[in-house]
Amino acid sequence: MPIKSLIRTVPHYPKQGVMFRDITTLLKDPVGFRITINEFVHRYTGTKVDKIAGIESRGFIIGAALAFQLGVGFVPIRKKGKLPAATVGHDYQLEYGFDRVELHVDAITKGERVLLVDDLIATGGTAEAAITLIEKMGGVVVEVCAVIDLPDLGGRARLEKLRHKVFTLCEFEGD
């Protein structure tokens, strides 16, 4: 069963012209969800990973399941103001304005090897901000992984230009 076939496309969401790739249809399918997690487990079994960092919010779902299977810790990377204890953050530019990602100050210790997980890679801006934050904490990003790559938006190329490895399970062109 191809994972891509279980991903719903929602036209014109959140704005006109955007083809939103919705993984909730993949997540609700028990076989598809299991295949997705197993693909990532297969890739990272034998790789030294200390923590999985999942980007809010769908990266939490994939990342937590993967962390459980690999027997490593999970840390959430959240939008500003969502974490209850002391945080460290990184601001980054969006198409129209700025946003901020944050981690708890005790989430990652110096030298820990971190796998960054999200549902998709579009422009790469959020992933780049998360990488900067992980590195600010002293962590080493092993790889960036996602279910979906939207290659026409340039995120993968942007991250690879910064010398980060990227792995995705499928891609949708034309987005």
Q: 3-state DSSP call for residue 153?
A: helix
Q: From the candidates 21, 58, 78, 156, which is the catalytic residue?
A: 58
Q: From the candidates 34, 78, 95, 112, which is the catalytic residue?
A: 95
CB 129 within 8 A of CB 116: no
Active site annotation includes 95? yes
3 vs 36: CA distance, rounded Å = 7
CA 113 to chain centre: 15
Active site annotation includes 100? no
88 vs 142: CA distance, rounded Å = 21
Query: Do the strands 113-121 and 140-149 form a parallel or antiparallel pair, or are they unpaired?
Result: parallel
Residues tagged active-site? 58, 95
